[in-house]
Chains A and B, each alone.
Chain A
Amino acid sequence: MPSEEIIVRGIVQGVGFRPFVWRLAQRLGLDGEVSNRGDAVVIVASGPPPVLDAFAAALAAEAPPLARVESIERRAAPSFAGSGFIIAASAPGTVSVGIVADIATCPACRAEIADPAARRHRYAFTNCTDCGPRFSIVEGLPYDRAATTMRGFSLCAACRAEYADPADRRFHAQPIACPECGPRLWLEAGGEVIDGDPVEAAALRLRAGKILAIKGIGGFHIACDATSEASVAELRARKHRPTKPLAVMLRDPAMVEAFCVAGDAEIAALTHPSAPILLLRLRPESALAAAVAPGQNRLGVMLPYTPLHHQLMETVGRPLVMTSANRSGEPQIFRDEAARAGLAEIVDGLLTHDRPIARRLDDSVVQFAAGRPQVMRRGRGLAPAPRDLPAGFAPAPPVLALGGALKSAICLTIGGKALLSHHLGDLDEPATQDAFEQAIADYTVLFDHRPAAIAVDTHPDYPPSRFGAALAEARGLPLIAVQHHHAHIAAVMAERGWPLEGGPVIGIALDGLGFGEDGTIWGAEILLCDYRDSRRLARLRPIPLAGGDAANREPWRVLLAHLDVALGPEAVPDALFAGLPVATLRAMIARGLNAPLASSTGRLFDAMAALLGLAPPRLSFEGEAAMALQAVAEMAGDVPPYPFGRAPVGNLMEIDPAPMWRAACADLAAGCSLDSIARRFHAGVAESFADLALSLAAAQGARAIALSGGVCQNALLLEMLVARLEPSGRSLLLPGEVPANDGGLALGQAAVAAARLGVAPRGGR
């Protein structure tokens, strides 16, 4: 019989691929073996040539749902000596990116835990090859139990039999477990383990208004009854988190529809194996405590994604707040000792277990904008997900890109793929910076990555920029600094497969703040970009940010700067700034004292929120003002856009918000409704940027327009932009799986660095 070696690459580990190969070989009557070899699944198969062809075709066509077959390589092999088909032990080899994200409990496992006759009835750690923890328990590759945090639990006879039976749903399910041999769950309070069923005991406490920490997949949550104003207020007080919206877990799609407006697409996103937090419109009449998301029309909602969550939600029967367990600003806690020490003053008990978490993974956050899903935070369930770099990048050198300072994430290029890490947090706290540095080590070791270059933002004081500079120097590697908004646009180009040699695109970067090429701060730019270079064509007229970072926290500072320019200081209504040190701010601006110039869209939205009285004097979280403004604008019907000016300044085009400010102030004085002013503002921003981008695209001969930056998370604005840009017929590149905020920067940095390092164009130069 002829024999072949067949190498299958892609996402083929931890997804039930080897049992699938085994079943396929059984069906076709082939002899041979299958094994994981670090970078691939390797099959030796022996049988008649037509059967081997059918086998190879079926490998791609019938692959398990979570697998992604990217290539199948076949070559003749010495004839196979054995008979029958076996699954061989994994051989160590070069490590690949073929590791999957954590997967929400599958329907079969859910049926099993609900079945009183089943061995795993009510067992909190039930999983199978189609579901369960993956990346959160992986400590090394290849993906085998010995390289996971399950290695301390030795299989009982029943589990061993399932694990070894190719016909079983748990054949080679690495995290396989049962009540006999697997992890245990308990509830502890005041340092003591509470007797009785831990889920029942926890549910009882939650229903009584208590606050509990719950150990999940990627870390601890803090939970309380989301319908109890008192519980939510208590949680906020203990956590020192006054207003930032809290995520909520709902029992099932029916409960989602009772509390939120959700269509089929939204329910599909919620029930997807990644089980993200999805932002949904809250039903105004819902019984949810107002303190859960004060002033917001959207709510972050998720469904249960572990057997523990399913049982708890069944037993409690009401929505639960499920917010990351941390002390204000610090990263989510994922270790038991840290939970006991760090949460003692916040929670009344811990529902926890003895399966260690290998790495912290925050819940992913997704929204629908312009009818498309948009990932706002990539965490549990979505990371790691290697993606192919666009055409032309195939021989990309290995780059390590370190991202920005907030919503940080790193990106590794490996072969023609980019691996964007999970969300690593805001690097303004030492604990987060420690975690960031550990994550770099974690990823480079896990994926055996030896970078040929380090890519960073051009901002000299971003922690990753400093860290990257030190790393590059220590290892003698080139350091490639990428301008913030070039990276934003390159990220969406790379996500949408824009080819390396696809020519320049027009990039609209609507952002908070990023370090500009001219030493000022950028954040409302139209760029002409390819992967190597970018040139600024247009900007929003810059204004001084009096107080630097203080202006990010205090929107009135930005409003004052805008109105002084638009109306002249004499005409600015004093009433808007009662009790605020206006004269000092004006003096700072006049003297250039800590008042750097910035062309920021994010700050423009903050300022409008301040004008309409929708922003507190000092924000308690990033995006607070802009989210309130969007929520108000969404209440209005169709209104005409406010006018923005447009004029050349030097060799730039400048969008001038002054006419908009004059119109908005007049409307406000005339008693127009806030929602219509807010909406006309949104429409004006969309119109001015979209129209200028279209005329620049025509002038430059750019075939595509790319949109990115944190402000593109404003779904209303994005919809308006898309509506104006789409009819032009130019390709529209919009952020989807890669965050539009700084969480996507590292991918853009990696693509730019790889391009600059000189990926030789096809045919060479």
Chain B
Amino acid sequence: LAHGGGGSAMRDLIDEVFIETFKGTKGAPEDQARFDLAALMAQGDRLAFTTDGFVVDPLFFPGGDIGKLAVCGTINDLAVGGARPVALSCAVIIEEGLALDTLRAVARSMAETAGAAGVPIVTGDTKVVARGACDKLFITTTGIGVVRTGVEVGIARARPGDVVLVNGQLGDHGAAILNARGDLALESDIASDCAALHGLIDRLIDAAPGVRMMRDATRGGVAAVLNELAAASGVGVRLRESDTPIRADVQGFCEILGLDPLYLANEGKIVAVVPPEQEGAALQALRAHPLGGGAAAIGRITDTRPGRVVMETRFGGERIVDMLVGDQLPRIC
């Protein structure tokens, strides 16, 4: 793709890629999508609205690509707020020189993911910028959804005694991206867990309507979510290493790289905090869903050490799972 020169011809080409790909999800091309309020109000009592920018290197990786990530990420951001996603928009920034095939593949992936999720991409925009002004391809997606009546979730709502759940093995996405990026000479079939979680979350809310908090454990991993939760709720979090699901190959990968899987990004994992009496129902609902087979209760909310996340190690010791300011900088002197 070329920037400038070709001007509107090029724009048309790009639009064509997206419009063709999104055919069936998008109605007549207008500058905005329009929603019937009555239909939305039938589904809940509040609107949810979110946006996120996606940059990832490489664009394609085991288990996904930037397009799938952009669709799932925004769907998940809506869902963890207790909303049923209604529609997405997308804005695409393309670096001059990106192969049309690459763009086509990303667009197709977005369309497929959105189609499978049942959440249409209803409007969008594309821009081509000069070489070096962006790195290959940036995508921003925005979504609206309707929050189910009665659902009240928030980062400050955790109470001592509550149970911390995850819907499966942690760190797969971060490990897959590093592995795909690094040419690390490791034999591994680690793949990103990238997935749209709104269906799973819907089942979770049905089973555990008292759910206090849900977050998708993306950047900074489960460690970042739990530290934010501990600070905002004024509680402690006590994790059990032996109950925390991590694939053996991800664990091994992390040991070699000197990384802690709790800090690795996930794109198909949530952290949910539920009151103790709903733990069983919540776990059952998660495990019954295809994206929750590996669900586990990994720890508990405590009133000791407020603001702090502590992990009980396999050997009976304890370690602090801190929020990191820098990258995982070495500390030993």
Contact = CB atoms under 8 A, between A and B. Distances in A.
Contact of A521 (B183, B257, B330): B330
Nearest to A427: B320
B318 A513 contact: no
A512 interface: yes
Given A548-B258, A587-B184, A596 B330 contact: yes
Contacts of A588: 182, 184, 257
B318 A462 contact: no
Contact of A512 (B308, B329, B332): B332
B326 interface: yes
Given A404-B333, A584-B184, A584-B185, A329 B255 contact: no
B317 A548 contact: no
Contacts of B316: 327
A581 B254 CA distance: 13
Nearest to B236: A430
Interface string A411-434: 000000000000000001111011
B257 to A, nearest CB: 5
A559 to B, nearest CB: 16
Contacts of A593: 178, 181-182, 184, 257
A549 B258 contact: yes
Interface residues of B, number: 32
A429 B328 CA distance: 17
B332 A622 contact: yes
Given A328-B315, A583-B185, A742-B333, A430 B310 contact: yes
Contacts of A523: 333
Given A327-B317, A405-B333, A622-B332, A550 B185 contact: no
A547 interface: yes
A513 B186 CA distance: 29
Contacts of B34: none
B333 A461 contact: no
A594 B259 CA distance: 8
B42 to A, nearest CB: 48
Interface in B319-333: 319-320, 322, 324-333
A521 B324 CA distance: 17
A459 B331 contact: yes
B322 A461 contact: yes
Contact of B329 (A428, A430, A434, A461): A461
B305 interface: yes
A459 B183 CA distance: 31
Contacts of A622: 332
A545 interface: yes
Interface residues of A, number: 54
Contact of B258 (A460, A546, A587): A546
B331 A240 contact: no
A178 interface: no
A349 interface: no
Interface in A376-416: 404-406
Contacts of A273: none
B256 interface: yes
Given A550-B255, A581-B256, A591 B181 contact: yes
Given A329-B317, A587-B182, A461 B332 contact: no
Contacts of B326: 460-461
A291 interface: no
Interface string A321-349: 00000011110000000000000000000
B333 A406 contact: yes
Interface in B240-262: 255-259
A431 B318 contact: yes
A431 B318 CA distance: 8
Contacts of B324: 461
Nearest to B309: A430
A438 B325 CA distance: 24
A548 B178 contact: no
A484 interface: yes
B187 to A, nearest CB: 10
A523 B310 CA distance: 30
Nearest to B311: A430
B184 A594 contact: no
Contact of B333 (A240, A460, A512, A596): A512
Contacts of B330: 513, 521, 545, 548-549, 551-552, 596, 598
Contacts of A404: 333
A429 B329 contact: no
Nearest to A330: B317
A337 B186 CA distance: 49
A428 B257 contact: no
A429 B308 CA distance: 12
Contacts of A4: none
A362 interface: no
B329 A459 contact: yes
Nearest to A618: B255
A519 to B, nearest CB: 9
Interface string B286-326: 00000000000000000001001010000111111010111
B299 to A, nearest CB: 14
B256 A547 contact: yes
A144 B327 CA distance: 50
A546 B257 CA distance: 7
A467 to B, nearest CB: 11
A14 interface: no
Given A460-B326, A588-B184, A430 B332 contact: no
A587 B183 contact: yes
Contacts of A330: 317-318
A515 interface: yes
Interface in A53-84: none
Interface of A: 240, 327-330, 404-406, 428-431, 433-434, 459-463, 466, 484, 511-515, 521, 523, 545-553, 581, 583-588, 591, 593-594, 596, 598, 602, 622, 710, 741-742
Interface of B: 178, 181-186, 255-259, 305, 308, 310, 315-320, 322, 324-333
Given A548-B258, A549-B328, A593-B181, 8 more contacts: A327-B317, A328-B317, A330-B318, A406-B331, A461-B324, A551-B330, A588-B182, A596-B327
22 contacts: A327-B316, A405-B333, A406-B331, A430-B305, A430-B318, A459-B329, A461-B324, A513-B331, A513-B333, A515-B329, A521-B330, A546-B258, A547-B257, A549-B328, A552-B332, A553-B332, A581-B256, A585-B256, A586-B185, A587-B184, A741-B333, A742-B333
